[in-house]
Chains A and B, each alone.
Chain A
Amino acid sequence: MKRMKRRELIFKVITYTLIFLLLFPLVVLVVWSFTKNWPWPNIIPREFGLRGIKYVFGPSSKSLKILLFSLWLSSVVTIVTLLISIPAAKALGVYDFKGRRIFKMLVLAPVIVPSVAVSMGIHVTFIRLGLANTFLGVVLVHLIPCIPYGIRILTNVFEIIGESMEMQARVLGANPVKAFLYITLPLISPGLVSAGSLIFIVSFSQYFLTFLIGGGKIITFPMLMFPYIQSGDRMMASMYSVVFIVSSLIFLVIMEKTVKTYYKAENYFYI
Chain B
Amino acid sequence: MVKKLFLMLLILVLALNFAACGQGDVANVKEEDILSKDWEEILEVARGTEVNFYGWGGSQRVNNWVDTYLAGRLKEEYDITLNRVGMDIDSILNILLNEKQMNVEEGTIDIVWINGENFFTAKTNDLLFGPFTHKLPNFNKYVDKDCVEVNYDFGFPVDGYEAPYGKAQFVLVYDKTRLDKIPRNYKELLEIAKNNPGKFTYPAPPDFTGSAFVRNIIYDIVGYEQFLDMEPKKETVEKAIRPAIEYLKELKPYLWKEGKTYPATIAQLDNMFADNEVLMTMSYNPNHAVNKKKTGEFPETASTFVFDKGTIGNTHFLAIPYNAPNKAGALTVINFILSVEAQASKYDPQNWGDLPVLDNDKLNDEEREMFEKIDIGEGALPQNVLLEHRLPEMPANLIPIIEEIWMENIPVEGE
Q: How far is the CB of A47 from chain B (nearest CB, A)?
A: 6
Note all chain A residues with C-beta closer than 8 A to B85.
216, 219
Tell whether, in the assembled complex, residue B21 and residue A60 are in contact, meaning their CB atoms are under 8 Å apart.
no
A228 to B58, CA, bound (A): 5
Partner pick for B58 among A37, A51, A227, CB 8 A cutoff = A227
Residue of B nearest to A35 (CB): B296
Known pairs A216-B85, A219-B85; A127 contacts B98 (CB<8 A): yes
Q: How far is the CB of B338 from chain A (nearest CB, A)?
A: 23
Tell whether, in the assembled complex, residue B98 and residue A124 are in contact, meaning their CB atoms are under 8 Å apart.
yes
Q: How far is the CB of B109 from chain A (nearest CB, A)?
A: 7
Interface locus among B100-108, B311-319, B404-412: B100-108
Tell whether, in the assembled complex, residue A60 and residue B64 are in contact, meaning their CB atoms are under 8 Å apart.
yes
Known pairs A39-B276, A55-B60, A235-B297; A127 contacts B102 (CB<8 A): yes
Interface residues of B in 276-297 (CB under 8 A from A): 276-277, 295-297
Known pairs A55-B64, A61-B67; A227 contacts B98 (CB<8 A): no
Tell whether, in the assembled complex, residue B21 and residue A130 are in contact, meaning their CB atoms are under 8 Å apart.
yes
Tell me, yes or no, whether B382 is within 8 Å of chain A by CB. Answer: no
Note all chain A residues with C-beta closer than 8 A to B265.
230, 232
Partner pick for A40 among B21, B68, B107, B276, CB 8 A cutoff = B276
Interface locus among B87-95, B189-197, B327-335: B87-95
Partner pick for B21 among A38, A128, A215, CB 8 A cutoff = A128
A133 to B104, CA, bound (A): 12
Partner pick for A36 among B24, B95, B270, B296, CB 8 A cutoff = B296
Note all chain B residues with C-beta closer than 8 A to A129.
17-18, 21
A123 to B94, CA, bound (A): 10
A232 to B273, CA, bound (A): 12
Q: How far is the CB of B100 from chain A (nearest CB, A)?
A: 10
Tell whether, in the assembled complex, residue B295 and residue A60 are in contact, meaning their CB atoms are under 8 Å apart.
no
Tell whether, in the assembled complex, residue B88 and residue A212 are in contact, meaning their CB atoms are under 8 Å apart.
no
Tell me, yes or no, whether A7 is within 8 Å of chain B by CB. Answer: no
Known pairs A37-B297, A55-B64; A232 contacts B86 (CB<8 A): no
A47 to B298, CA, bound (A): 11
Partner pick for B59 among A37, A217, A231, CB 8 A cutoff = A231
Partner pick for B60 among A120, A216, A236, CB 8 A cutoff = A236
A248 to B182, CA, bound (A): 48
Known pairs A60-B68, A127-B102, A129-B21; A232 contacts B60 (CB<8 A): no
Tell whether, in the assembled complex, residue A216 and residue B58 are in contact, meaning their CB atoms are under 8 Å apart.
no
Residue of B nearest to A124 (CB): B98
Tell whether, in the assembled complex, residue A37 and residue B267 are in contact, meaning their CB atoms are under 8 Å apart.
no
Known pairs A40-B277, A232-B265; A123 contacts B95 (CB<8 A): yes
Contact with B along A199-243 (1 / 0, CB 8 A): 000000000000110011101000110011011111110000000
Interface residues of B in 13-52 (CB under 8 A from A): 17-18, 21, 24, 52
Tell me, yes or no, whether B383 is within 8 Å of chain A by CB. Answer: no
Tell whether, in the assembled complex, residue A232 and residue B267 are in contact, meaning their CB atoms are under 8 Å apart.
yes
Note all chain B residues with C-beta closer than 8 A to A176.
none
Tell whether, in the assembled complex, residue B271 and residue A232 are in contact, meaning their CB atoms are under 8 Å apart.
yes
Partner pick for A49 among B60, B86, B296, CB 8 A cutoff = B296
Residue of A nearest to B63 (CB): A61
Partner pick for B299 among A37, A60, A234, CB 8 A cutoff = A37
Known pairs A127-B104, A212-B95; A231 contacts B58 (CB<8 A): yes
Tell me, yes or no, whether B258 is within 8 Å of chain A by CB. Answer: no
Number of interface residues of B (CB under 8 A): 45
Tell me, yes or no, whether B54 is within 8 Å of chain A by CB. Answer: yes
Tell me, yes or no, whether B132 is within 8 Å of chain A by CB. Answer: no
Note all chain B residues with C-beta closer than 8 A to A128.
21, 102
Known pairs A120-B94, A128-B21, A215-B108; A40 contacts B267 (CB<8 A): no
Number of interface residues of A (CB under 8 A): 37
Tell whether, in the assembled complex, residue B102 and residue A36 are in contact, meaning their CB atoms are under 8 Å apart.
no
Note all chain B residues with C-beta closer than 8 A to A215.
95, 107-109
Tell whether, in the assembled complex, residue A37 and residue B60 are in contact, meaning their CB atoms are under 8 Å apart.
no
Tell whether, in the assembled complex, residue B104 and residue A37 are in contact, meaning their CB atoms are under 8 Å apart.
no
Note all chain B residues with C-beta closer than 8 A to A130.
21, 24
A133 to B106, CA, bound (A): 11
Tell me, yes or no, whether B56 is within 8 Å of chain A by CB. Answer: yes
A128 to B23, CA, bound (A): 11
Tell me, yes or no, whether B360 is within 8 Å of chain A by CB. Answer: no
Tell me, yes or no, whether B226 is within 8 Å of chain A by CB. Answer: no
Tell whether, in the assembled complex, residue B275 and residue A36 are in contact, meaning their CB atoms are under 8 Å apart.
no
Note all chain B residues with C-beta closer than 8 A to A133.
108
Note all chain B residues with C-beta closer than 8 A to A49.
295-296
Tell me, yes or no, whether B268 is within 8 Å of chain A by CB. Answer: yes
Tell whether, in the assembled complex, residue A120 and residue B98 are in contact, meaning their CB atoms are under 8 Å apart.
yes
**Residue in A37, A40, A41, A219 with the greatest tally of chain B CB atoms within 10 Å:** A37
Q: Give B contacts to A, CB under 8 Å.
A: 17-18, 21, 24, 52, 54, 56-60, 63-64, 67-68, 85-88, 91, 94-95, 98-99, 101-102, 104, 107-109, 265-268, 270-271, 274-277, 295-299
14 pairs, CB–CB < 8 Å, chain A vs chain B: A36-B297, A37-B296, A37-B298, A51-B60, A123-B95, A127-B102, A130-B21, A211-B91, A216-B54, A227-B86, A228-B58, A232-B265, A235-B295, A236-B60
Further 14 A-B residue pairs, CB within 8 A, beyond A232-B271, A234-B297: A36-B296, A39-B275, A41-B276, A51-B295, A51-B296, A127-B102, A211-B91, A224-B57, A227-B57, A228-B58, A228-B60, A231-B59, A232-B265, A232-B267
